[in-house]
Amino acid sequence: QKAVWAQMKDEASVTSDGKQVELAANIGTPEDVESVLNNGGEGIGLYRTEFLYMGKSELPTEDEQYDAYKSVLEKMGDKPVVVRTLDIGGDKELSYLDLPKEMNPFLGFRAIRFCLENESIFRTQLRALLRASVYGNLKIMFPMIATLEEFRQAKEILLDEKNNLSNEGVAVSDQIEVGIMVEIPSTAVTAKQFAKEVDFFSIGTNDLIQYTMAADRMNEQVSYLYQPYHPAILNLVHNVIEAAHGEGKWVGMCGEMAGDPIAIPILLGLGLDEFSMSATSILQARTQLRQLSKEDMQSHKETLLSMGTADEVVAFVKEIT
Ligand code: PEP
Ligand code: MG
C-alpha cells in the first residue's frame, strides 16, 4: 500500500474523468514544509500561525514573523501558501496576554474578534506578511469570520498597512488573494453575500461541525454528535461551494474532513476545489482521487444532500465507491 502511495508523489491530482483538484497541506511551522514537499503537496492550504505566538513569554516581533513567513513562501516557490492570521482563544491560550477566563471560550473572545480589538498585534502580523509576500504565492486568510463587517474591517486594516508599506518604499506583492475561513454557520449560510467580497473560502470543518451541531469538539460525552457526514454539514458545505462558484471564486477545506477517505468522494461531488490535510495523508488521498469519477460523484449529489442521517450517508458512499 505504502509503495503504491509513494508512486503518487509527482502524479497530478486528477480524477479518472480528467478533473483537476488541488491537494494541499496544513502546517504549523516552517519546518513542516519539507514533509509537505516530500509528500507531493501542491500547496499549503492552512498555515496555522498561532504556533509563532504560543509556548513563549512574549509576542513575536514583526521581524521574527517575517522570517518565518518568508521561509515558508520561499520553500514553496510558486505554489500557493494560505496563511491564516492569528487564531488565538478557544482552546489556544497565550499566557503573557492575561486574557480574562470565559464561560464559553469557543464562543468567546478569539481569533479575528481578538485581532480587531488588539489592532497593533494584528497590524504587526499583517506587515510581516505583506513584507514577505514578494517571496512567493501568498494568500491571506482571516479565521472565525461571523459577519461581513468583520471581514471588511480586517481587509481595510490590511489595505491600510499595504499603503503604509508602499509609502515607506517597501515592496509588496499586488497578487495577494484575501479570503476567509468558513467555520461559523452564519457565514456558511450567507456565503453568497460573502462570495462577492472575498477572493476565496476555506471551510474549517473542525469548528463548523462543533458550531452547527452544538457539540464541543473536545468533549467526549457529546462526541457522538460530532458528525462530519451529517446532512446539515453537507448542505452547508454545498451552499458555500455553490456561492463561491457563482462568483468565480475557489473553495478549499482545511478541517480534518478534507483528508477523510469517506468524505473525499462526497466533497469531490459537491465541487470542492482544494483539499488541505496533514501532509502524511496526501499520497493516500491522491491515490483515491485518481480512481474516482467526479461526474459520477456529482450525479449522487442531490441524493446525499437529502438524506436524513450521517449513517445513511456513510452507507451510501460505501455503496457507490
Ligand atoms: C477548523 O476549524 O476546521 C480549522 C482548520 O481550524 P482549527 O482546527 O485550527 O480551529
Ligand atoms: Mg477553526
Report the distance separating Cα 124 and Cα 94, nearest Å.
17
Phi-psi region of 90 (alpha: psi -120 to 50; beta: other; left: phi over 0): left
Atom number in ligand 1 closest to CA 183: 2
pTM of the model: 0.97
Cα of 183 vs centre of ligand 1, distance in Å, is 8
Alpha-carbon torsion (37, 39, 42, 45), positive or negative? negative
SS3 call for 263? helix
Q: How high is the pLDDT of residue 6?
A: 85
In contact, 11 and 283? CB cutoff 8 Å: no
- Say what angle helices 231-246 and 310-320 make with each other, to 10 degrees: 70
Burial of 245 (0-12, 13-18, 19+ CB in 10 A): middle
ipTM for this model:
0.99
Instruction: Specify binding-site residues for Mg(2+).
Output: 183, 207
Residue 226: its pLDDT value, please? 97
Mean pLDDT, 10 residues at a time, over the chain (321 residues)? 85 97 98 98 98 93 98 98 95 85 93 97 98 98 98 98 98 98 98 98 98 96 98 98 98 98 98 98 97 98 98 98 94
Question: Ligand 1: does its nearest atom lie under 6 Å from the Cβ of 199?
Answer: no
Is 311 in a helix, a strand, or coil?
helix
CA distance linking residue 78 with residue 74, whole number of Å:
8
**Ligand 1 centre distance from Cα of residue 254 (Å):** 7
Quick one: which of 270, 315, 320, 314 has its CA closest to 291? 320
What is the per-residue pLDDT for 222? 97
Cell numbers for 187: 457565514
* CA 210 / ligand 2 centre spacing (Å): 10
Where would I find the H helices in the chain? Answer: 2-6, 33-38, 62-76, 111-117, 119-132, 148-167, 185-189, 191-195, 205-213, 231-246, 263-270, 282-289, 294-299, 301-305, 310-320
Q: Which three cell numbers stand for residue 265?
A: 468522494
254 is catalytic: yes
Task: Tell me, using a 6 A CB cutoff, whether residue 233 lines ligand 1.
Answer: no
Q: What is the DSSP string of 103-145?
A: S-GGGSS-HHHHHHHSHHHHHHHHHHHHHHGGGSEEEEEESS-
d(CA 311, CA 185): 22
